């Protein structure tokens, strides 16, 4: 007899044990299904390192309320930083965002991410078909990331101050724009821009001779640069205030400057070609909470959310259905200004961002020119 006066016979004990065993076994099977992204999950928290424009707080709260899935977000400053971080912490992160060639050439090459069948995500059917088939992200093991946004780097200019209307990178070197240019604080990208200005194609893998040419252009660029923007909004603010007449940046700065009450600005893709990015959400290998990612993406990537993200953050995204949502919302002109439907053609003409063999030399070169 036990302490509660309950007579626990051997038969009842074995029956209870068997029931408990079945329950535990079923629980294990369910957990295993969830772990491979299949069944419903009970909710939880996953760790995501991403850029600030990949989510909207209200959408995260809605998903948390409806699905009990919480995104614990850490801010991603750049591709190299994110890559170094994942190498260091590995499975402490569950999802990370990355650009173009960083995805296959860094994350996948180092075995840091898990490829997956993108068609298992119903929401992926809302993407443009080509976005599910990017060659650089397609491996025999599966697709390397869930496509999100894209943009080439353009030059924007104050139409009242810059004339004649430029069409080339060379305008950044023109002495009459001394102290009137703001570029983002990304040394490797600035070196890449000058590589494009020199007419080089593979600007992340430049030879020493090519870098020597770029050095001369950086020397011409330096007196024209007023300052380095810490983030894209800094460049836009410099245009709005009139401090800058020329900035570099993603699609959409015309709207941002106009919305901020600034002057009329125009943008163009330089005739020598440009660099560009397209980013994706990657599943980190050995992440402890990756079972939450498919359910999260199914919700977060819905066209309505993507359309809202576009309105808030302003750069083109890969969702075909979101474009239709924007059309239905009367935002077709805005989406077309960002050339939403032209991603395939435009990206095919840009040099995609990725880890390069000339990274270290590019940074040394930048420091050499912009140091004292």
Partner 1 sequence: MTTRVVGGATLAPPTAASGGRISSLRRFAPFIPAGLILVGLFFVPLAVMLVFSFWSTGANLDVIPVWTLENYANFFENTTYVRTLFKTLVIGAGVTLVSLVGAFAVAYFLARYVSRRWARVALLIIIVPFWTSYLLRVYSWQAILGERGALNQVLMGLGLISEPSRLFVYNDIGTFIVLTYVYLPFAALVLYASLERFDFTQLTAAQDLGARPHQAFRHVLLPQIRPGLITAAIFVFIPILGEFLTPSMVGGAGGLLIANLVANFFKNALIPEGAAVGFMIAAFVLVLLIAFRRYLRVEDVYARG
Interface residues with partner 1 (CB under 8 A)? 77-78, 80-81, 83-84, 105-106, 109-110, 179, 185, 187-188, 222-223, 225-228, 230, 241-243, 355, 357, 359-360, 363-364, 366-372
Q: How many CB atoms lie within 10 A of CB 257?
A: 23
For the CB of residue 115, give the shortest distance to partner 1 in the complex, in Å. Answer: 18
Taking phi over 0 as left and psi of -120 to 50 as alpha, with beta for the rest, 21 belongs to alpha
Of 92 and 185, CB closest to partner 1:
185
Token couple for 371? 């140091």
Measured from the CB of residue 25, what is the shortest distance to partner 1 in angstroms?
43
Of 1 and 372, nearer to partner 1 (C-beta) is: 372
CA distance 76 to 89: 14
Contact 224, 182 (CB under 8 A): no
The minimum distance between CB 222 and partner 1, in angstroms, equals 6
Rounded Cα distance, 322 and 314, in Å: 13
- What is the C-alpha separation between 24 and 118, in angstroms, rounded? 31
Between 204 and 318, name the residue whose CB sits nearer to partner 1: 204
Which residue from 278, 301, 277 is spatially nearest to 118, judged by alpha carbons? 301
In this complex, which beta carbon is closest to partner 1, that of residue 19 or of residue 360?
A: 360
Least distance from partner 1 to the Cβ atom of residue 99, Å? 14
Please identify, using beta-carbon distances, which residue of 252 and 355 lies nearer to partner 1: 355
Tokens representing residue 149 in the block: 């946004």
Per-residue tokens: 296: 């999260």
Taking residue 331's Cβ as centre, other Cβ atoms within 10 Å add up to: 17
Q: Least Å distance between CB 87 and partner 1?
A: 8
């Amino acid at each position: 007899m036990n302490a509660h006066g309950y007579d626990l016979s051997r038969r009842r004990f074995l029956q209870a044990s068997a029931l408990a065993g079945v329950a535990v076994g079923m629980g294990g099977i369910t957990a295993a299904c969830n772990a491979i992204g299949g069944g419903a999950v009970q909710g939880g928290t996953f760790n995501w390192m991403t850029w600030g424009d990949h989510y909207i707080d209200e959408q995260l709260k809605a998903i948390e309320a409806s699905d009990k899935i919480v995104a614990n977000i850490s801010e991603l400053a750049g591709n190299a930083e994110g890559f170094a971080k994942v190498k260091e912490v590995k499975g402490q992160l569950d999802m990370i965002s990355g650009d173009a060639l960083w995805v296959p050439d860094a994350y996948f090459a180092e075995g840091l991410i898990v490829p997956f069948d993108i068609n298992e995500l119903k929401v992926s059917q809302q993407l443009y078909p080509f976005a599910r088939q990017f060659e650089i992200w397609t491996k025999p093991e599966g697709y390397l990331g869930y496509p999100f946004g894209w943009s080439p780097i353009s030059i924007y200019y104050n139409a009242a101050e810059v004339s004649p209307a430029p069409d080339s990178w060379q305008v950044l070197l023109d002495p009459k724009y001394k102290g009137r240019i703001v570029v983002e604080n990304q040394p490797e990208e600035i070196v890449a821009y000058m590589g494009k200005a020199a007419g080089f194609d593979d600007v992340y893998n430049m030879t020493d001779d090519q870098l020597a040419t770029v050095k001369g252009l950086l020397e011409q660029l330096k007196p024209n640069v007023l300052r380095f923007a810490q983030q894209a909004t800094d460049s836009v603010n410099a245009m709005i205030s009139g401090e800058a007449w020329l900035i570099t940046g993603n699609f959409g700065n015309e709207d941002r400057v106009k919305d901020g009450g600034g002057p009329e600005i125009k943008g163009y893709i330089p005739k020598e070609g440009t660099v560009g990015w397209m980013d994706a959400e990657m599943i980190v290998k050995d992440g402890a909470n990756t079972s939450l990612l498919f359910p999260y993406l199914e919700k977060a990537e819905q066209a309505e959310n993507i359309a809202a993200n576009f309105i808030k953050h302003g750069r083109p995204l890969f969702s075909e259905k979101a474009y239709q949502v924007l059309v239905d919302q009367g935002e077709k002109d805005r989406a077309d200004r960002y050339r939403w439907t032209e991603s395939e053609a435009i990206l095919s003409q840009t040099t995609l961002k990725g880890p390069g063999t000339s990274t270290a030399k590019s940074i040394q070169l930048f420091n050499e020119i912009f140091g004292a």
